[in-house]
Each structure stands twice: as C-alpha cells, then as structure tokens.
Amino acid sequence: MFMRLVKHSYLLWFITVGLLTCSCQNDRNEVMAIGKKPVMPMLVGKEVTMLYSDSTLLKIKLITPQMQQYERDVKEPITIMPKGLYVVFYDNDGKQTTTLKADYGVRYEYSKRMEAKYNVEVVNVNGEKLNTEHLIWDEQKKKIISNSFVKITTAKEIIMGKGLEANQDFSQYEIKEITGSIKLDDSQL
C-alpha cells in the first residue's frame, strides 16, 4: 500500500509540474519589458513654429502640427514630428530659397540631421521640385541625401532615379542612378 501511495504521489507531482509548465507561457517581449520604463517625451507641443537664426539672420522656419522631444532613456536626444512638417530655408538676404514638407520627421540633436519621410517634397527658388519617400537633411554639411526613389520635376523635364545628393537649397543636385527622363514641351506645362 505504501508503495502504491509513493507511485501515485510521483505521478501526481509529474502531472502538476506538467500542467504548470504548459499553462505558464509568456511572450518573450513581455518578459523583456518587465522592469523597463516606457520612453515618454520630455516636451510635447501642438501647432509649433520654430525659428533658427545665425547672427540675428533668420535661416530656417519649421512649422509642425505636433512635436515630441525625447531626451531621457534614448541614445541621442530626438525630436519627432509625427503629423508632418513644413520647413522654409532663407538666404543671407532673408529671401526664401527652398521649402521642404513631409508627413513625418525626426531630428537627431547630436548628429545634427533630420529625416523626412512619406510624401516628401522639396521645392527650390527656381520651382524645381523633388519628390521622394525618404530623405536625410545633414545640417552640418548642408546637404540633402536620399537612397530612395526620387523624381525631380523641372520646367523642361521630369527625371526619375534612385538616390540623390543635393546642396541644402536644392540648387545643385545629382541623381545616383537615373531610371528615366521625360522631356516636357510647352503644351505639357
């Protein structure tokens, strides 16, 4: 009788451990998130207009419907513009040279660069227009870079390609891989 009781208690123990093992399943991401604080913005703004100047000269005006600044718990302080942005660049005489708009933007504080994504459009003083889905504006080098599909529309042609490098005011640009070009005549304008 004692032997039967010992066998039953071992059997009961294995069943209990088996049920506990099968019923306690955790999502790996949930387990990894235990003890981590959610990253929250330090500042949140709505209908924000920021002006950047150099030696009292207005250089850049940035307008965004929503802005979130993150400084804690991130590798580099960033500013996110999740509902889009509109940027105006000015020359030394205070005249508008270029505009940039996009549906989403992120500015990286230390590396001084901004990523613009989704329906990105850059227009220079000559009316030449760049359309792409992703570009990087390097503030220190004063360059615009894209590795995505680009389309440039001028008064005389439409040029399409992959990848682009341009100066900040978009007066000089180079498409890395031209994939097509369409000449426009006066009747198409």
The pLDDT value recorded for residue 142 is 87
How far is it, in rounded angstroms, from Cα 181 to Cα 92?
A: 34
CATH number of 37-188: 2.60.450.10
Over the stretch 78-118, which tens digit does the pLDDT of each residue have?
888 999 999 998 888 888 889 999 999 999 988 889 999 99
What does the domain layout of the chain look like in residue ranges?
Answer: 2-32, 37-188
Mean pLDDT of all residues in 3-21: 47
The pLDDT value recorded for residue 75 is 77
Tell me the whole-structure pTM to 2 decimals.
0.71
How far is it, in rounded angstroms, from Cα 63 to Cα 51?
A: 9
- Residue 49: CB partners within 8 Å, gap ≥ 6? 61, 62, 63
Task: Give the model's confidence band at 123: pLDDT under 50 very low, under 70 low, under 90 confident, else very high.
Answer: very high
CB 113 within 8 A of CB 137: yes
Listed residue (133, 131, 128, 141) closest to 172, CA to CA: 128
CB 121 within 8 A of CB 143: no
Over the stretch 157-166, which tens digit does the pLDDT of each residue have?
888 999 999 8
Who wins on pLDDT, 88 or 7?
88
- Res. 21: pLDDT tops 60: no
